[in-house]
């Protein structure tokens, strides 16, 4: 794998002249530059070592890998050296830039199939080489596929690559979370048995979709949502209806890559034999089709950065909408994301299907793909049916809430235990819902027409005791339906504060229980009266008693005065409940005011101190 660069590139920054910025990643800025002694245009990736403090290992790995590889479809380093706090990695300059930037600048809807086939074939050749040498790239995506002026394709960015032959710590690194969520294979997210080079095949399939549509599936969602969707949904794919412009063999090739079970994905070598790649065209055609008429890379990059800045301002105006920020990250082609457990919990709880996200589990009702590989006997790959079915074959769960019970298997060893939190919150949700619905059921059975009308109102109005909205739930105390109750709305976050939930839940259902009790007392009286009447008219006292009515008959009949007192007690109890609730609200407000006051006092003190 080692190679000796024919030319000797100098290892001092003074031998290079940096020109404009042509790219930016999470860890580096890339410049077009001139290598003065050799009079050759190069690209220099400048990594700020201070910023990458905790990932020096990754950087070392990237530089080592780039120095060792020798394949026409892989970007190799001419040399690298440190200067001040930076590491400079000198590579050939590929003036077309990345496929992601090309799409963002000129092909927002994605490329045509022959171009996709050629680009992917070249990338696949690079993967065959890497895998044969024991490397997993781990970050295959359009942002890391570079095109040169002649249309040649090179896979770049070994920042997160891993070696299959590593042992010890480096072996363990294959059990960690690396890559970019949209392109990340489910087994990489799951951390169940680690993963191997088949993870690159998944990313390759996602990249195929990215080149076809101009964006990766789920790219507009925040990373945590992407993780959940990748694990829970059926694999994404090309659709019969929406993707009519693409051939069946392209659809099959993508489907073969995007199988959740890595064992069922083809190896890169096998995939290269897929007849889809027979449609590939020449470098020259690619250069003509993709690059003709485009402005220089630096200029395109500047325009994209300006767009990005606009987007950022828009996002700020929209209070930092997560989805837009995510999109923005996507525009930049950023690889690394920060995973925050709390954020995951809250995002997952409030995941909605308003955007048409489906919650189908991988149905595993796979139809066999026809042998699409030319030269080899290929074990049948599985293809998720919805990908070949009609566009709307994904059926979102009705309430839009993720059904976590079905995620158990796939997420058994998810490292940060977010799913237990999700499950707990969903169970809590379920118990509130069950409780509320049994309440409504009791209420509905009430024979009293007035009660029944009230209860129907309770159930039908949006102010019902527990309101099941799309993908979230809300307990509204006003909802409990008792007209006299104070109309305080309390949204319950099912993740945080179980005791708060119980208080709110109690406040919500107490008036209903009191109401039912009152109704029951009245009904009991009516029943006793009816029984007495029947006894007197038919002389059946004994038989009825024998049939178990004795208890009822032994209950003292409530007098008018008693009834009045009972309802007064109920009203008082209800008022106490309301007062407790109001008190809690006032307490909360008070605490907030206290906090604000303290902050103001602290600030004033600080200002005084500074003035002194």
Ligand X SMILES: Nc1ncnc2c1ncn2[C@@H]1O[C@H](COP(=O)(O)OP(=O)(O)OP(=O)(O)O)[C@@H](O)[C@H]1O
Q: Rounded distance, CA 184 to CA 202, Å?
A: 7
Minimum distance, C-beta of residue 258 to ligand X, in the bound complex (Å) = 21
* Residues ≥6 apart with Cβ < 8 Å to 178: 138, 139, 160, 162, 188
Residue 222 near ligand X by CB under 6 A: no
Nearer to ligand X, 143 or 236 (CB): 143
Out of 9, 16, 27, 213, name the contact with ligand X by CB under 6 A.
Answer: 27
Nearer to ligand X, 302 or 524 (CB): 302
Minimum distance, C-beta of residue 321 to ligand X, in the bound complex (Å) = 22
Q: How many chain residues bind ligand X (CB under 6 A)?
A: 26
Out of 16, 31, 35, 43, name the contact with ligand X by CB under 6 A.
Answer: 43
Length of the chain: 612
- Site pattern 75..104 for ligand X (x: CB under 6 A): x---------------x-xx--xx--x---
Residue 55 near ligand X by CB under 6 A: no
Phi and psi torsions of 71, nearest 5°: -150, 140
Residue 140 near ligand X by CB under 6 A: no
Nearer to ligand X, 142 or 349 (CB): 142
Minimum distance, C-beta of residue 142 to ligand X, in the bound complex (Å) = 9
Nearer to ligand X, 154 or 260 (CB): 154
- Quickly count helices (H) and strands (E) in the chain: 20, 15
Out of 49, 152, 334, 531, name the contact with ligand X by CB under 6 A.
Answer: 334
Minimum distance, C-beta of residue 297 to ligand X, in the bound complex (Å) = 6
**472-476 and 489-490 strand pairing:** antiparallel
Residue 451 near ligand X by CB under 6 A: no
Phi and psi torsions of 95, nearest 5°: -70, -15
Task: Annotate 23-75 with DSSP letters as a single string.
Answer: EE-SSEEEEEEEETTTTEEEEEEEEETTTTGGGHHHHHHHHHHHHH---TTB-
* Residues ≥6 apart with Cβ < 8 Å to 268: 124, 127, 128, 131, 197, 200, 201, 204
Minimum distance, C-beta of residue 154 to ligand X, in the bound complex (Å) = 8
Out of 58, 179, 262, 333, name the contact with ligand X by CB under 6 A.
Answer: 333
Phi and psi torsions of 599, nearest 5°: -60, -45
Q: Rounded distance, CA 35 to CA 474, Å?
A: 63
Q: Rounded distance, CA 298 to CA 294, Å?
A: 11
Catalytic residue among 39, 48, 139, 340: 139
Q: Is 39 in the active site?
A: no
Q: Rounded distance, CA 383 to CA 366, Å?
A: 5
Residue 26 near ligand X by CB under 6 A: yes
Residue 25 near ligand X by CB under 6 A: yes
Nearer to ligand X, 103 or 156 (CB): 156
Q: Where are the beta strands (DSSP E) in 49-165?
A: 79-83, 86-92, 97-98, 135-136, 145-147, 153-155, 162-163
Q: Mapping DSSP to helix (H, G, I), strand (E, B) and coil, where does residue 466 land?
A: strand
Minimum distance, C-beta of residue 30 to ligand X, in the bound complex (Å) = 4
Task: Mark the segment that binds ligand X (CB under 6 A) among 151-159, 388-396, 564-572, 598-606.
Answer: 151-159
Residue 335 near ligand X by CB under 6 A: yes
Q: 422 and 402 in contact (C-beta within 8 Å)?
A: yes
Cα–Cα separations (whole angstroms), residue 248 to 237, 319, 398, 420, 506: 12, 43, 32, 40, 58
Residue 181 near ligand X by CB under 6 A: no
Minimum distance, C-beta of residue 176 to ligand X, in the bound complex (Å) = 16
Out of 9, 45, 161, 514, name the contact with ligand X by CB under 6 A.
Answer: 45
Nearer to ligand X, 16 or 482 (CB): 16
Minimum distance, C-beta of residue 79 to ligand X, in the bound complex (Å) = 13
Q: 108 and 55 in contact (C-beta within 8 Å)?
A: no
* Residues ≥6 apart with Cβ < 8 Å to 389: 240
Tokens of 295: 């402005």
Residue 151 near ligand X by CB under 6 A: no
Minimum distance, C-beta of residue 345 to ligand X, in the bound complex (Å) = 26
Out of 151, 159, 217, 236, name the contact with ligand X by CB under 6 A.
Answer: 159
Nearer to ligand X, 188 or 238 (CB): 188
- H-type alpha helices, 290-417: 297-317, 322-332, 341-349, 385-388
Residue 146 near ligand X by CB under 6 A: yes
Out of 9, 16, 30, 480, name the contact with ligand X by CB under 6 A.
Answer: 30
Catalytically annotated residues: 139
Q: What residues make contact with ligand X under the rule CB under 6 A? A: 22-28, 30, 43, 45, 75, 91, 93-94, 97-98, 101, 143-144, 146, 156-157, 159, 333-335
């Amino acid at each position: 794998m080692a190679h000796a660069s024919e030319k000797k590139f100098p290892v001092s920054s003074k031998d290079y002249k940096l020109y404009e910025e042509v790219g930016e990643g999470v860890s580096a800025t890339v410049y077009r530059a001139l290598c003065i002694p050799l009079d050759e245009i190069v690209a220099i990736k400048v990594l700020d070592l201070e910023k990458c403090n905790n990932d020096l290992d990754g950087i070392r790995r990237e530089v080592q890998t780039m120095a060792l590889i020798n394949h026409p479809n892989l970007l190799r380093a001419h040399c690298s050296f440190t200067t001040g706090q930076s590491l400079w990695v000198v590579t050939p300059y590929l003036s077309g830039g990345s496929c992601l930037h090309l799409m963002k600048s000129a092909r927002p809807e994605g490329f045509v199939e022959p171009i996709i086939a050629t680009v992917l074939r070249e990338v696949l050749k690079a993967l065959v080489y890497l895998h044969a040498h024991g490397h997993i790239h781990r970050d295959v995506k359009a942002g890391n596929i570079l095109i040169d002026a002649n249309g040649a394709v090179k896979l770049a960015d070994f920042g997160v690559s891993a070696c299959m032959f590593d042992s010890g710590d480096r072996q363990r690194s294959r059990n960690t979370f690396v890559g970019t969520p949209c392109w990340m294979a489910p087994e990489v997210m799951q951390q169940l048995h680690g993963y191997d080079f088949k993870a690159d095949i998944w990313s390759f399939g996602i990249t195929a979709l990215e080149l076809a549509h101009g964006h990766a599936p789920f790219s507009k969602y925040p990373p945590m949502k992407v993780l959940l969707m990748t694990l829970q949904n059926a694999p994404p794919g090309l659709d019969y209806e929406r993707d009519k412009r693409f051939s069946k063999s392209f659809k099959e090739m993508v489907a073969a890559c995007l199988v959740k079970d890595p064992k069922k994905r083809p190896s890169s070598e096998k995939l290269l034999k897929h007849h889809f790649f027979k449609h590939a065209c020449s470098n020259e055609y690619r250069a003509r089709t993709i690059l003709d008429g485009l402005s220089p890379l630096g200029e395109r990059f500047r325009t994209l950065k300006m767009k990005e800045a606009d987007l950022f301002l828009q996002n700020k105006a929209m209070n930092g909408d997560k989805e837009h920020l995510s999109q923005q990250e996507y525009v930049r082609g950023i690889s690394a994301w920060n995973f925050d457990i709390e954020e995951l919990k809250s995002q997952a709880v409030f995941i909605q299907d308003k955007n048409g996200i489906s919650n189908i589990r991988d149905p595993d009702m796979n139809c066999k793909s026809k042998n699409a590989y030319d030269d080899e006997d290929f074990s049948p790959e599985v293809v998720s049916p919805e990908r070949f079915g009609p566009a709307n074959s994904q059926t979102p769960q009705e309430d839009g809430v993720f059904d976590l019970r079905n995620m158990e298997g796939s997420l058994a060893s998810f490292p940060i235990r977010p799913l237990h939190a999700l499950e707990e919150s969903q169970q809590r949700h379920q118990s509130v819902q069950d409780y509320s619905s049994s309440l409504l059921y009791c209420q509905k059975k009430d024979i009293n027409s007035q009660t029944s009308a009230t209860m129907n109102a309770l159930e039908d109005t949006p102010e019902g005791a527990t309101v099941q909205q799309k993908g979230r739930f809300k307990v509204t105390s006003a909802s409990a339906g008792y007209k006299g109750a104070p109309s305080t709305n309390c949204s319950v976050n099912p993740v945080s504060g179980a005791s708060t939930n119980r208080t709110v839940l109690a406040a919500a259902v107490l008036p209903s229980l009191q109401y039912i009790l009152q109704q029951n007392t009245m009904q009991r009286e009516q029943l006793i009266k009816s029984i007495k009447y029947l006894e007197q008219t038919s002389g059946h006292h004994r038989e009825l008693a024998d049939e178990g009515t004795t208890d009822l008959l032994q209950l003292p009949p409530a007098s008018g005065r008693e009834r009045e007192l009972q309802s007064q007690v109920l009203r008082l109890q209800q008022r106490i409940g309301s007062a407790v609730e109001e008190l809690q609200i006032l307490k909360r407000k008070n605490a907030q005011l206290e906090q604000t006051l303290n902050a103001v006092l602290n600030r004033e003190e600080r200002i005084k101190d500074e003035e002194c």
